[in-house]
């Protein structure tokens, strides 16, 4: 497994409200992107609490990660745990009221990627020079597209483009999506905040990945971040790239 990861403030923001985690342990292959929302500091707090809380919860229960079903159960427990922690924290400090964060995480087990998703950060799979968006955006604009109110073309510059319909920490209850993806050698898995996906289209992401597979994943992630900045860099940009090799597929 070859991993790269980059988080950049972008060109318009005063601080970086994205958080991420990339595992350095082969027996704990967890990867997370979180994009915070709230006031000047609140987004930072929410995304960091979510990432650190999920990592801690799963590490403390690592002995239970022994089946596909248990992985899903543990991830759900971890997300519910951090949702409650962030929600309660938001009432402790006036500046934190209403804070929240997206979460898109991946755990690799038995030649599969288990994805949990809340919000509008994304997961993509690049396979055989094709790209597929794995997650579905939890946004008002995506709901409008689904019910036929607007077209995908109209969504690009919609005034409520950034309004998300699900987030960690904004309610005592949380609904999350799960996906299970079979992986093969040389597949590339991408996790990113919307600072990338809003600035760089799928075809361009595919071109960068497919045309640079001879480079390391950090270079590919850096190239994606730089392209997002060339296209405006309106938000924080976080990208994690994972290329699967024979080792992870054993």
Is 55 a domain residue? yes
105 conformational bin, left if phi > 0, alpha if psi -120 to 50, beta if neither:
beta
HSE at residue 25, side-chain half, CA atoms within 13 A, is 8
Residue 52, domain member (yes or no): yes
Residue 250: inside a domain: no
Render pLDDT for 8-40 as a digit per residue (tens, 0 to 9). Answer: 999 989 899 999 999 988 899 999 999 999 876
- What pLDDT is recorded for position 149? 73
Q: Which CATH number belongs to the domain containing residue 223 in this structure? A: 3.60.40.10
Q: What is the pLDDT of residue 247?
A: 64
Predicted confidence (pLDDT) at residue 195 exceeds the cutoff of 80: yes
SS3 letters across 171-198: CCCCCCEEEEEECCCCCEEEEECHHHHC
Average pLDDT of the segment spanning 99-120: 96
pLDDT tens, residue by residue, 120-177: 999 999 998 999 999 999 987 777 777 777 777 666 666 666 778 999 999 999 999 9
**Residue 250 predicted with pLDDT over 60:** no
Task: Please state, as a whole number, how many other Cβ atoms lie within 10 Å of the Cβ of residue 193.
Answer: 33
Q: Over range 172-198, report the average pLDDT.
A: 95
Provide the number of structural domains found in the chain.
1
Q: What is the pTM of this model?
A: 0.94
Q: What is the pLDDT of residue 39?
A: 72
| Within-domain flag for 249 | no
Structural domain contains residue 67? yes
Q: Does residue 248 lie in a domain region?
A: no
58 assigned to some structural domain? yes
Question: Range of 27's domain?
Answer: 2-243
């Amino acid at each position: 497994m070859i991993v790269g990861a980059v988080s950049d403030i972008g060109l318009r923001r005063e601080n970086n409200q994205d958080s991420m985690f990339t595992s350095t342990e082969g027996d704990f292959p967890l990867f997370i992107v979180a994009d915070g929302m709230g006031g000047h500091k609140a987004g930072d707090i929410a995304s960091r609490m979510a990432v650190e809380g999920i990592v801690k919860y799963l590490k403390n229960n690592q002995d239970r990660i022994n089946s596909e079903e248990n992985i899903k159960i543990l991830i759900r427990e971890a997300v519910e745990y951090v949702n409650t922690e962030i929600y309660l924290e938001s009432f402790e400090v006036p500046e934190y009221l209403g804070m929240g964060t997206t979460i898109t995480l991946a755990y690799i087990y038995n030649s599969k990627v288990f994805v949990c998703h809340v919000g509008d950060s994304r997961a993509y799979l690049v396979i055989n020079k094709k790209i597929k968006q794995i997650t579905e955006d939890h946004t008002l604009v995506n709901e409008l597209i689904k019910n036929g109110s607007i077209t995908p073309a109209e969504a690009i510059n919609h005034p409520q483009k950034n309004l998300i319909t699900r987030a960690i920490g904004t309610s005592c209850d949380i609904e999350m999506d799960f996906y299970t993806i079979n992986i093969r050698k040389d597949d590339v898995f991408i996790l990113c905040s919307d600072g990338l996906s809003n600035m760089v289209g799928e075809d361009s992401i595919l071109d960068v990945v497919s045309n640079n597979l001879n480079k390391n994943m950090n270079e590919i992630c850096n190239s994606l971040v730089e392209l997002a900045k060339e296209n405006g860099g309106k938000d924080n940009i976080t990208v994690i790239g994972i290329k699967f090799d024979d080792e992870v597929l054993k």
